[in-house]
Amino acid sequence: MILEKVIPEINIQNEYKEFVDTYMDEVYAEFKTKIHSMYMCGSIPKGTATPFKSDADFTVVCENPADIDYEKLSEIKDRLLKKYPFVTKIDTIFCSIHDVINKPNEWGFWIKVICICVRGDDIGAKVPPIVISPAFILDLNTDTKEEVERVRHWLSNADDRPMQTRYIKGYSKRLLRALYSLILEDTGVWKDDMPDIKNDLLKYCGIDSSIIDDLYACYLDSDVSVEQFLRTADEAYRYIEQTLQAMAASGRSSER
């Protein structure tokens, strides 16, 4: 099975168009020839964003992410968040042309399947079709352990309740998506709407359904304590790690 694009066409709502154009204009003006193309994912390019609730998620493909002055980028973000207060946050990821082309199951997947090009030439067209397979699922989770450990550390050391809530929400979302990656051979499609992810997990995932329900509740800003959340999160990650290890072992056995 080949993964189809999550967002087949751009459908930005009128109230977000000026913000998107202004942000892209300022990023291009600041970094000029260093940028190859810009992409978006999430609710804004799909046309389902909710003012004062939805984030703006950009990805920039460039020759070398190390050439980007991230302090200048932060200044642009801060200025536009004041100008457009209905945007809750601006997330911008940078990746290299080399990684998109040479890591098709990681950055190639992100650009080709998850994102949609909003400015420049779509480099995702150069990425070969993404075929769902155990090897693809393993590649997709290459950085999962590192990301989970990093966010867990931040959450464990956060002493401000609003920050704890933000980390819990983000950590829940990351775990639910990692769990969803494990059932791609069952679903045949990548979904990024959390209610759909939850429903498919309850249908296909072998983990205890209460863990899925708890993670989803935390994603929706449940007032759970950090300690209680981490017990659920650790159990979910153990399942993810064990499933990936079994998948890798099965792949090695089939190669013999």
Q: Give pLDDT tens digits for 76-91.
A: 999 999 999 999 999 9
Q: Is 122 exposed, middle or buried (0-12, 13-18, 19+ CB in 10 A)?
A: middle
Same-domain status, 188 and 245: yes
One domain, residues 194 and 108: no
Q: Are residues 125 and 27 in the same domain?
A: yes
Same domain as 164, residue 112: no
- Domain contains 190: yes
Q: Is residue 105 part of a domain?
A: yes
For position 161, what pLDDT does the model report?
86
Amino acid at residue number 101:
I
Q: What is the pLDDT along the chain (256 residues), one digit of tens a residue?
A: 899 999 999 999 999 999 999 999 999 999 988 999 999 999 999 999 999 989 999 999 999 999 899 999 999 999 999 999 999 999 999 999 999 999 998 899 999 999 999 999 999 999 999 999 999 999 999 888 888 888 888 888 888 888 888 889 889 999 999 999 999 999 999 998 899 999 999 999 999 999 999 999 999 877 888 899 999 999 999 999 999 999 999 865 555 4
Same domain flag for 150 and 127? no
Catalogue the long-range contacts made by 151-154 (C-beta closer than 8 Å, 24 or more residues apart). 152/230, 152/233
What contacts 81, CB < 8 A, 6 or more positions away?
87, 89, 90
The structure's pTM equals 0.84
Are both 90 and 62 inside the same structural domain? Answer: yes
How many domains, in total, are found in the chain?
2
Q: Let me know if residue 201 belongs to a domain.
A: yes
Q: What is the largest CA-CA distance in the chain?
A: 60
Which residue intervals of the chain are DSSP H helices?
14-31, 43-46, 70-83, 97-102, 109, 134-140, 144-157, 161-181, 184-187, 194-204, 209-219, 226-255
153 domain residue, yes or no:
yes
Q: What is the pLDDT of residues 157-183, one digit of tens each?
A: 888 888 888 889 889 999 999 999 999
Query: Is the same domain home to 96 and 178?
Result: no
What integer pLDDT is reported at residue 143 of this predicted model?
Answer: 87
Domain that holds residue 41: 14-131
Is 185 found in the same domain as 152? yes
Report the CATH number at residue 31: 3.30.460.10
2 part of a folded domain: no
d(CA 143, CA 115): 19
H or E segment and range at residue 94? strand 90-96
Place of tokens 């708890």: 214
Rounded Cα distance between 220 and 29, Å, is 37
Q: What are the C-alpha distances in Å from 241 to residues 131, 141, 146, 158, 177?
A: 22, 10, 12, 25, 14
Q: Give how far the C-alpha of residue 183 lies from the chain's centroid of Cα atoms, to the nearest Å.
A: 17
